[in-house]
């Protein structure tokens, strides 16, 4: 078995080292004897979506997002077909915003891919916080860090989780991120997957299921990750 990961525009969308999420996916495959390869795409590179099982779109500044947005127009149809065919996508922060219809900023509108029915408006102050979110379909909450000026509105889309601590999509509706087809969109960046191995395995399982029709992932120990998760929950939730 092999998982092929595509990292879109790492030179522009790599705030807070989103690249580490790729290393996490690769490692968790290798520990289980699953091959994993990574292809990085720069703006000028053509993308054959049929050769990919997981796509990572990372975070970026507004300026970098505006540059990427121009390119996205040219790949939109292929990207949409990939998403509708249940291709796995992890889109973080700026990348998450770009999945929607638009991101309105003081400098003007950044058009998105319209792959998911959401939109973003810049607001003040920036939403900067540690964050904990809960989704009862997963064995433990997701923990992370957020830093965004944009407020994202996701309508009826299923959230990645309910906000227990922090701001989430817009600081108001207690929703964080989205789950749509096999897309995970979220504002949790930095070491999202190393901190949340259950989310990493969710992505890997979806990719294997789509490709091979089965997804047996042997369990990994994850003792330290679970302890760290618990520590964060205690630290932030018990003092509320
Ligand atoms: N530039 C976007 C915002 O501030 C996304 C930031 C990010 O990716 N951290 O909302």
**Number of structural domains in the chain:** 1
Q: Number of C-alpha atoms within 13 angstroms, CB side, residue 4?
A: 12
Tell how far the Cα of 122 is from the centroid of ligand 1, in angstroms.
9
Q: Label residue 23 by pLDDT band (50, 70, 90).
A: very high
93 lines ligand 1 (CB under 6 A): yes
Other residues' Cβ atoms within 10 Å of the Cβ of residue 126: 13
* C-alpha dihedral, 203 to 206 to 210 to 211, nearest 10°: 50
Q: Is the CB of 166 under 6 A from ligand 1?
A: no
* pLDDT value, residue 150: 97
Reported as a pLDDT band with limits 50, 70 and 90, residue 16 is confident
Cite the active site residues.
93, 189
Tokens 């993308």, located at residue:
47
Per-residue confidence at 18, pLDDT binned at 50, 70, 90?
confident
Residue 185: pLDDT band (50, 70, 90) is very high
Q: Of 169, 140, 155, whose CA–CA distance to 233 is shortest?
A: 140
* pLDDT over threshold 90, residue 90: yes
61 lines ligand 1 (CB under 6 A): yes
Q: Which atom of ligand 1 is nearest to the CA of 64?
A: 1
Q: Which residues pair with 6 in a beta bridge?
A: 39, 55
d(CA 10, CA 229): 28
Range of the domain at 205: 2-237
The pTM of the full predicted model, rounded to 2 decimals, is 0.97
**Which ligand 1 atom is at minimum distance from the Cα of 58?**
8
Out of 68, 121, 149, give the residue to mutate to test ligand 1, the one with the largest number of ligand atoms within 8 Å of its CB: 149
Residues 62-89 have pLDDT tens digits of 999 999 998 998 999 999 999 999 999 9
**What share of residues in the chain are helix, strand, coil (percent, to 5)?**
35, 30, 35
Q: Tokens 């969308």, residue? A: 13
Three-state SS at 118: coil
Q: Distance, CA 237 to ligand 1 centroid (Å)?
A: 25
The CB of 58 under 6 Å from ligand 1? The reply is no
- pLDDT tops 80 at residue 240: no
Instruction: State pLDDT tens for residues 120-178.
Output: 999 999 999 999 999 999 999 999 999 999 999 999 999 999 999 999 999 999 999 99
Is 80 exceeded by the pLDDT of residue 239?
no
Instruction: Give the ligand 1 atom nearest the CA of 146.
Output: 9
Q: What is the CATH number of the domain that holds 201?
A: 3.40.50.880
């Amino acid at each position: 078995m092999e998982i092929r990961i595509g990292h879109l525009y790492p030179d522009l969308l790599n705030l807070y080292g989103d690249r580490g999420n790729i290393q996490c996916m690769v490692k968790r495959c290798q520990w289980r004897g699953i091959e994993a390869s990574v292809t990085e795409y720069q703006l000028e590179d053509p993308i054959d979506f049929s050769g990919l099982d997981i796509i990572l779109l990372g975070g970026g500044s507004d300026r970098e997002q505006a540059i990427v947005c121009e390119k996205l127009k040219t790949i939109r149809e292929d990207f949409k077909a990939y998403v509708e065919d249940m291709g796995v996508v992890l889109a973080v922060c700026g990348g998450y915003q770009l999945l929607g219809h638009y991101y309105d900023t003081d400098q003007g509108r950044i058009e998105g891919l319209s792959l998911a029915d959401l939109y973003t408006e810049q607001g003040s102050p920036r939403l900067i916080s540690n964050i904990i979110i809960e989704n009862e379909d997963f064995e433990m909450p997701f923990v992370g860090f957020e830093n965004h000026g944009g407020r994202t509105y996701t309508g009826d889309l299923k959230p990645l989780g309910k906000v227990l601590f922090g701001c989430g999509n817009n600081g108001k509706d207690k929703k964080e991120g989205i789950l749509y087809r096999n897309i995970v969109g979220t504002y949790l960046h930095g070491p999202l997957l190393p901190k949340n191995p259950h989310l990493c395995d969710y992505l890997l399982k979806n990719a294997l299921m789509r490709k091979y029709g089965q997804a047996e992932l042997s369990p990994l120990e994850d003792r330290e990750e679970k302890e760290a998760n618990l520590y964060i929950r205690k630290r932030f939730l018990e003092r509320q």
